[in-house]
């Protein structure tokens, strides 16, 4: 999900630096990566922004609002997933709510 910016990458770009380099103030990008089989004991991913870890962002591209990351097992525990939320500017309460709505609508692939 991209809000306020056109997504400029192939689907497998991680991180999507070309998109982030053109990130306008107020933009939001929600990005999911399926990356391997689940790890032993990995918990299901909880798509809740309030439990995300904040990271500085990103491989040579400054993103003023930073990156928030969530990790865990996908549906049925058949794969691991990372979901990243990028904010083009420090997130306001309204922007955080908008990002959470996107997470609420994120459909991860079913069990493989």
**What is the SS3 assignment for the chain?**
CEECCCCCCCCCCCCCHHHHCCCCCCCEEEEEEEEECCCCCCCECCCCHHHCEEECCCCCCCCCCCEEEEEEECHHHCCEEEEEEEECCCCCHHHHHHHHHHHHHCCCCCCC
Q: Where are the domains of the chain?
A: 2-105
Cis status of the peptide bond prior to 58, with omega within 30 of 0:
yes
Report percent pLDDT > 90 for the chain. Answer: 42
Q: Provide the pLDDT for residue 71.
A: 94
Q: What is the pTM of this model?
A: 0.85
User: What average pLDDT does the structure give for the chain?
Assistant: 85
Query: Which whole number is the average pLDDT over 15-44?
Result: 83
Parallel, antiparallel, or unpaired: how do β-strands 80-87 and 28-36 relate? antiparallel
């Amino acid at each position: 999900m991209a809000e306020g910016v056109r997504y400029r990458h192939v689907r497998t770009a991680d991180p999507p630096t070309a998109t982030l380099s053109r990130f306008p103030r107020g933009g939001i990008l929600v990005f999911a990566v399926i990356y391997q089989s689940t790890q032993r004991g990995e918990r299901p991913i909880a798509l809740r922004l309030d439990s995300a870890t904040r990271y500085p962002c990103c491989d040579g591209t400054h993103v003023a609002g930073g990156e928030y990351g969530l990790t865990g097992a996908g549906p049925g525990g058949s794969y691991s997933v990372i979901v990243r939320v990028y904010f083009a500017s420090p997130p306001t309460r309204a922007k955080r709510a908008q990002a959470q709505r996107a997470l609420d609508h994120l459909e991860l692939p079913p069990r493989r």
